[in-house]
Homo-oligomer: A and B are copies of this chain.
Amino acid sequence: MPAKVNATAAAAAAKPSVRERLLAAADELFYSEGIQTVGIDRVVHRAGVAKASLYNVFGSKDELVQAYLDARTDRTREGIERTLTRFRTPRERLLGVFDAQGQIFTEPGFNGCAHITASAEAQPGGPVECANARYRNWVRTMFTDLAREAGVADSEGLARQLHLLYDGSGVSARMDRDPSAATTARAAAAALFDAAIKVGEE
């Protein structure tokens, strides 16, 4: 057993698994060019993997897309959580989400929120919609938790407002090619937060 673990670990170090290579290729191509426009052939070629392997690991393109979106969700969550460790006060942590967003916006190759883009391309009822629901559920609960920890009475209501800013910021950063949308959203979030706190104090 240890021998096998070492063997696979060494193989993973030398070369990522088929699944990882496929996910990496799918992420690069789907995110930058769109899901519909990128065909399976380009993904497998970029991954250096046979087509049959793709259909062995994932059953269809739809499932590959779903895995790509779920991986995006995980990476986004990790990035935000890492950024939030830099902040101490609850208010800073709440607004820090938009700082993390601004950081994402300035990364090379940024092309908007992958989930919004994928939603526009996918037909309703498919696995893409499920992945998007998971993502949006996480964002909302994150905002709700941060608002509650900051002492906001109507944490759920503020979270819904901040989620709108979060989505709108992503849309603007992509369509207007304006990374400063994050700072605009942060300023608006600060005003909404302060107003919500003031209401609670009354």
- How far apart are the CA atoms of A121 and B174 in the complex, in Å? 13
Does A37 sit within 8 A of B, measured CB to CB? yes
Interface of A is mostly: helix
Bound-state Cα–Cα, A185 to B188, Å:
12
Contacts of A37 in B (CB 8 A): 36, 123
Most chain B CB inside 10 Å of its own CB: which residue of A116, A166, A174? A116
Flag if A120 contacts B123 (CB, 8 Å): no
Q: Is the C-beta of A187 less than 8 angstroms from some C-beta in chain B?
A: yes
* Any B CB within 8 A of the CB of A171: yes
User: From residue 169 to 198 of chain A, which have CB atoms closer than 8 A to chain B?
Assistant: 169, 171-172, 174-176, 181, 184-185, 187-188, 191-192, 194-195
A28-55 to B contact mask, C-beta < 8 Å, 1/0: 0000011011000000000000000000
